[in-house]
Amino acid sequence: MAISRSWHALLCALVLVALAAGCRTSDAPGRSEALDGPLQVMVSIAPQRYLLERIGEEHVQVTVLVPAGADPHTFEPSPAQMRALSAAQLYFTVGESFEQVWMDRFLSANPQLHVVDTAAGIERLPMAAGHSHDDEGGETADDEATLDPHIWLSPRIVRTQASTVRNALVSRDPAHAARYDENLAALLADIDALDADIRAMLRDKARREFLVFHPSWAYFAEDYGLEQVAVEVGGQEPSAAELAAVITLARERGIRVVLAQPEFSTTAAGTIAREIDGEVLLVSPLAPDWLENMRRVAATIAQALE
């Protein structure tokens, strides 16, 4: 009888241990857990997916919130995307205003979601004069919205973001830390080579300013000693008076190229190009192959500086 009672007590203890092991706990930054498959990761924009997949390879499954061709400044997630987010383990933010607007709802849908801020520790620039995202996303944003979110367009900054990604992956999946370290080293080498290529493209250009419709390229310009001249004012199409002022400035400075991005209307950019006897060239800050896109954009900006 005593043996029976002892066996019953042991069995109950084993059941309790098994139940405890199966319980999901809060996702503190330093906590790891056994993984049955790849980490389920959510990112805001496609260039982030490039970093995650370069470092995480088959150990991450990445979903992008903002679809191709959409504008992240005015993005609102669909019900299907909210369901996908509810299954994510990690969400890597980049500093876009919609992330702040929707974050409470994201965490309500998935209280276990661990949010990784890839803008942490990065000195942010103010948005170009007159540009604001305060009316975007359907709610009033806080002071963070006055800072330029386009940090992923600086190779120098992306080096820091890549290390942030590596640290977060190792924290959740230490079993593959050596692989993540190896992949990070290879990515950083590619970024350094990209930086050298861009400097070579831009080194001998006498002109140092370029005309761009949406002011996405301030961090890129800062890295390479350039100045972006923005057409857009306050997130809106320029008025007739503002358009005339930009045309006058472009003529005075001999600018013949207007850079626009495919996510926005190019009507105003086309008007300016016709008035200055120039052309519109498309550059996207959201292309999925970040490394190749940055090299392509640099070549386009070099052409604009001729």
Q: What is the pLDDT of residues 169-180, one digit of tens each?
A: 999 999 999 999
Q: For the segment 160-212, what is each residue's pLDDT rounded down to a tens digit? A: 999 999 999 999 999 999 999 999 999 999 999 999 999 999 999 999 999 99
Q: For the segment 86-103, what is each residue's pLDDT rounded down to a tens digit? A: 999 999 999 998 899 999
Q: Which two tokens stand for residue 185?
A: 């080293």
- Confidence band (pLDDT; 50, 70, 90) for 137? very low
Please tell me the distance from the alpha carbon of residue 116 to that of residue 100, in angstroms, as a whole number: 13
- 14, pLDDT greater than 80: no
- Structure confidence at residue 133 (pLDDT): 41
100-109 residues labelled b (16+ CB within 10 A) or e (exposed): bbbeeebeeb
Mean pLDDT across 275-297: 97
- Confidence band (pLDDT; 50, 70, 90) for 25? very low
- Structure confidence at residue 283 (pLDDT): 97
Mean of the per-residue pLDDT values of the chain? 85
- Structure confidence at residue 264 (pLDDT): 84
- Structure confidence at residue 248 (pLDDT): 96
Reference 280, options 258, 300, 305, 299; nearest CA is 258
292 Cβ contact list (under 8 Å, min separation 6) = none
- 152, pLDDT greater than 90: yes
Q: For the segment 34-47, what is each residue's pLDDT rounded down to a tens digit? A: 567 999 999 999 99
Strand ranges of the sheet holding 279-282, from the earlier edge strand across to the other edge: 227-230, 209-212, 257-260, 279-282
Percent with pLDDT over 70 in the chain? 82
Q: Looking at per-residue confidence, does 45 or 25 come out higher? A: 45
- Structure confidence at residue 234 (pLDDT): 62
- 67, pLDDT greater than 50: yes
- Structure confidence at residue 24 (pLDDT): 33
Mean pLDDT across 63-87: 86
- Confidence band (pLDDT; 50, 70, 90) for 135? very low
- Structure confidence at residue 29 (pLDDT): 44
Q: C-alpha angle with apex 160: 107 to 284, nearest 5 degrees?
A: 80
- 130, pLDDT greater than 50: no
Ordered structural domains, the chain, with CATH: 35-196 (3.40.50.1980), 205-304 (3.40.50.1980)
Q: Which two tokens stand for residue 52?
A: 């995650």
Reference 67, options 43, 99, 95, 96; nearest CA is 43
Please tell me the distance from the alpha carbon of residue 43 to that of residue 77, in angstroms, as a whole number: 12
- 31, pLDDT greater than 80: no
